[in-house]
C-alpha cells in the first residue's frame, strides 16, 4: 500500500455533536465526493485535528479519480528558529517575565510565550472546554469538574504551545491525544453549603466543588520549547518567603470584561494576590479547609471558561510556581470581596506524584 497521506483542514460545528450521538455517522463521504470508508487505502484522507472521519477504525479512502493528481512529496530538514530552541526537561516556571511586568490589572491580552505551560482542553471537534497546566512531558494538571459528562479520553484533545485559540494556526501539530483522565477519588461537584456574608450578615446558599483536581496523561510526550514548557510544582515542605503584592497571576480563554459569551480567541491575564484558606473563608463567610486558596484583585479575576487553568506566583527569582487550579467563584463573575477559589496544588503533591512518577 502506498503510504502517501494527505491532510485536510475543515471546521465542524455542533452539527457533528448532535448528529453523531447514538447514530452511526461517518464524515468521510461529506469531505470529498466519492470518498469511502474502507479497512485499507492506497491514499488516506485525514482530518488536520485528528477527528475520526470513519467509524469502527476504518480509513477514509481518497476516490480513484483524484489519485492521478497527486505527486510524491519531498522531505526537507529545517533548523528551529532561535526563539524555539529546545528547553531542558529540568527547567520549569520560565515564561517571559519582561512581557508581564508591563501588564496592568484588568484582564489584558497575554503576549505569546508568557505562560508556556497553559494549554486548552477541547473536544475533538475543536470545541473549547477548559484550561490546563503542563507539569511534565506527558502530564497536564486541571480541574476535575471540567470532565463532568466528558470523561471519554478518545473524544478530547489537549491544545498546547499556542496562546491563540485558532482553527487556522497549525491546529493538528499542536493538538495532542489523551491517554487517560484521572479525577481525584474524593472529587464532589456542586456541593451545597450555607454561608453568611460578613458584610451584610445575610445567609445564602452556594454550590462549590470539593477536591477539584484531575490529571490528564497524554499519548505522546510534549516537546518543550520557548512556547511550551512546564510550570513548577510547589514543595509543601519548603518554607517560602512572603509574596510581594500582585505577584500571582491567573490566565485563561474564559469570558472577558466585555461579558462576551463563550471563550475568547486570545489568552488573557490578570495579576493579584493569593489568599490562604482562613482569609478566603472570612471573605466568603464560609468554612474552607486548607486544600483551597483564593485569588483576589479587588475587581478582576477568572470567569466562566477559565476553569482548570493555573494560578502561578513568582517568588523573587522569577520562577513561576503553580499554587492553584482555577475551580469556582461567583456565577456573575463579579469579584468585589468574593475572591476566586482555587484548588491548592501543594495539598495534592503526594497524589500527583503517585501517578507522574510511576
User: Which sequence positions are flagged as catalytic?
Assistant: 145, 212, 307
Q: Could you count the other beta carbons within 10 Å of the beta carbon of residue 165?
A: 18
Distances (CA, A) of 114 to 101, 103, 109, 178: 11, 11, 10, 25
Distance CA 319, CA 12 (A): 39
304 within 8 A of 341, measured Cβ to Cβ: no
Buried b (16+ CB within 10 A) or exposed e, 307-324: bbbbbbbbbeeebbbbbb
216 within 8 A of 328, measured Cβ to Cβ: no
343 within 8 A of 291, measured Cβ to Cβ: yes
Question: Maximum distance among all alpha carbons in the chain?
Answer: 77
| Among 313, 320, 332, residue whose Cα is nearest residue 206 | 332
53 in helix, strand or coil?
coil
* Size of the chain, expressed as the number of residues it contains: 358
Distance CA 234, CA 343 (A): 13
| Among 344, 177, 341, 140, residue whose Cα is nearest residue 130 | 140
Amino acid at each position: 500500500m502506498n503510504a502517501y497521506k494527505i491532510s485536510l483542514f475543515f471546521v465542524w460545528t455542533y452539527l457533528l455533536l448532535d448528529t453523531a450521538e447514538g447514530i452511526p455517522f461517518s464524515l468521510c463521504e461529506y469531505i470529498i465526493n466519492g470518498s469511502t470508508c474502507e479497512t485499507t487505502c492506497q491514499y488516506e484522507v485525514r482530518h488536520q485535528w485528528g477527528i475520526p472521519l470513519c467509524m469502527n477504525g476504518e480509513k477514509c479512502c481518497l476516490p480513484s479519480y483524484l489519485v492521478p493528481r497527486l505527486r510524491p512529496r519531498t522531505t526537507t530538514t529545517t533548523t528551529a528558529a532561535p526563539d524555539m530552541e529546545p528547553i531542558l526537561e529540568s527547567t520549569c516556571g520560565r515564561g517571559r517575565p519582561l512581557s508581564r511586568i508591563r501588564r496592568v490589572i484588568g484582564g489584558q491580552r497575554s503576549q505569546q510565550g508568557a505562560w508556556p505551560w497553559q494549554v486548552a482542553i477541547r473536544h475533538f471537534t475543536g470545541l473549547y472546554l477548559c484550561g490546563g497546566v503542563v507539569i511534565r512531558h506527558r502530564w497536564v494538571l486541571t480541574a476535575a469538574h471540567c470532565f463532568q459528562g466528558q470523561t471519554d479520553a478518545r473524544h478530547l484533545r489537549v491544545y498546547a504551545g499556542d496562546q491563540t485559540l485558532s482553527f487556522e494556526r497549525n491546529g493538528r501539530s499542536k493538538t495532542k491525544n489523551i491517554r487517560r483522565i484521572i479525577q481525584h477519588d474524593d472529587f464532589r461537584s456542586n456541593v451545597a453549603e450555607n454561608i453568611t456574608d460578613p458584610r451584610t450578615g445575610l445567609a445564602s446558599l452556594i454550590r462549590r466543588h470539593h477536591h477539584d483536581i484531575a490529571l490528564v496523561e497524554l499519548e505522546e510526550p510534549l516537546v518543550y520549547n520557548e512556547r511550551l514548557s512546564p510550570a513548577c510544582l510547589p514543595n509543601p515542605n519548603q518554607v517560602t518567603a512572603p509574596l510581594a503584592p500582585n505577584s500571582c497571576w491567573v490566565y485563561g480563554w474564559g469570558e472577558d470584561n466585555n461579558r462576551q459569551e463563550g471563550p475568547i480567541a486570545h489568552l488573557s491575564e490578570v495579576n493579584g494576590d493569593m489568599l490562604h484558606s482562613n482569609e478566603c473563608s472570612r471573605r466568603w463567610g464560609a468554612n474552607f479547609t486548607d486544600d483551597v486558596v483564593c485569588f483576589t484583585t479587588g475587581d478582576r479575576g477568572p470567569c466562566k471558561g477559565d476553569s482548570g487553568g493555573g494560578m502561578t506566583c513568582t517568588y523573587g527569582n522569577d520562577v513561576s510556581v503553580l499554587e492553584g487550579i482555577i475551580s469556582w467563584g461567583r456565577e456573575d463573575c463579579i469579584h468585589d470581596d468574593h475572591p476566586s477559589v482555587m484548588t491548592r496544588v501543594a495539598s495534592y503533591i503526594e497524589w500527583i506524584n503517585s501517578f507522574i512518577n510511576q
